[in-house]
Amino acid sequence: MTIKSILLGASAALALSAAAAVAGPLQERIDAGETIRIGFANEVPWAYPGEGNAPLGFVNAHVLGVLSEMGHDNIEPVVTDWGGLIPGLKAGRFDIITGGMYILKERCENVAFSDPMAKVGDILIVPAGNEKGLHNMDDIAAAGATLVTGAGYNSIKVAREAGVENIMEVPGPTEILAAVRANRADAGAVTYFTGANLVAGLDDVELSDAAKQPVDGANWVGIGFRDADTDFRDAFNAAQAEYLGSEAMLASVAEYGYGEGALPDDKTTAWVCENR
């Protein structure tokens, strides 16, 4: 063996060692033949379980499409409550949050978000006729009305900042709708996609006027990873950049109501983390 071959062999070994050193726990699971565990709650039409916990919803469809482009199809769905998504990610109960989570400053401290995959706004579910004229948090605060929303939702912080004093926290969308329909709350705060799905076909509730939401109230949706998995997150971002907005992607999410109007703008995750 020549000195040159020895050096080349040593260099290759060092390169492999360096690659192993930077690989996060998710990549190590993949290399070991284990599943990619995606965590989500029951948030129709964002991400929700079907028969046998099959991952349905437009965020799940998008993530599965990106992972497929990356060559990954060994996927394991893990369903939990919305409030358990970030704790579950940090505790290693799953590897990726696909639940349709807004990128928010306080969440960025605990989650390594992907580049945005959607830009959406919030809405209120109100009794039919909306006699109290509740269209946004300022209206609710001024009326001294009661707001219901989900535990862990960003709307809790938004409501408090607007001066809303009466806030009910419930597990998720089904309970939000039930509280409004039973007159236990005057309005329910949800995302537009969720609200449109919840009130469809009902005659006792409706959505507030989206045009009366704050002009700066839009939020950006990201896919959540552990801080230790930024290597995989970066690879996901690269694949998402090619897939997002493609014909294949839009076809996969169309049944859930996601269209070109929901595609994100040019805001970066860093900007959103700082400004939301």
pLDDT in tens, 83-94: 999 999 999 999
pLDDT confidence band for 16 (50 / 70 / 90): very low
Q: Is the pLDDT of residue 12 over 70?
A: no
Hey, what long-range contacts does 132-138 have (CB within 8 A, 24 or more apart)? 132/186, 134/186, 134/187, 134/208, 135/208, 135/209, 135/212, 135/213, 136/162, 136/208, 136/212, 136/213, 136/214, 136/217, 137/161, 137/162, 137/164, 137/189, 138/162, 138/163
Percentage of the chain beyond pLDDT 70 is 92
Nearest to 79 by CA among 59, 106, 52, 111: 52
pLDDT at 209: 96
**Domains of the chain and CATH, by start:** 21-119+220-270 (3.40.190.10), 122-212 (3.40.190.10)
Q: If you average pLDDT over residues 126-145, what whole number do you get? A: 98
pLDDT at 1: 47
Q: Is the pLDDT of residue 149 over 80?
A: yes
The helix (run of H) or strand (run of E) holding residue 273 is helix 269-275
pTM of the model: 0.84
Q: If you average pLDDT over residues 178-189, what whole number do you get? A: 98
pLDDT at 14: 42
Q: Is the pLDDT of residue 95 over 60?
A: yes
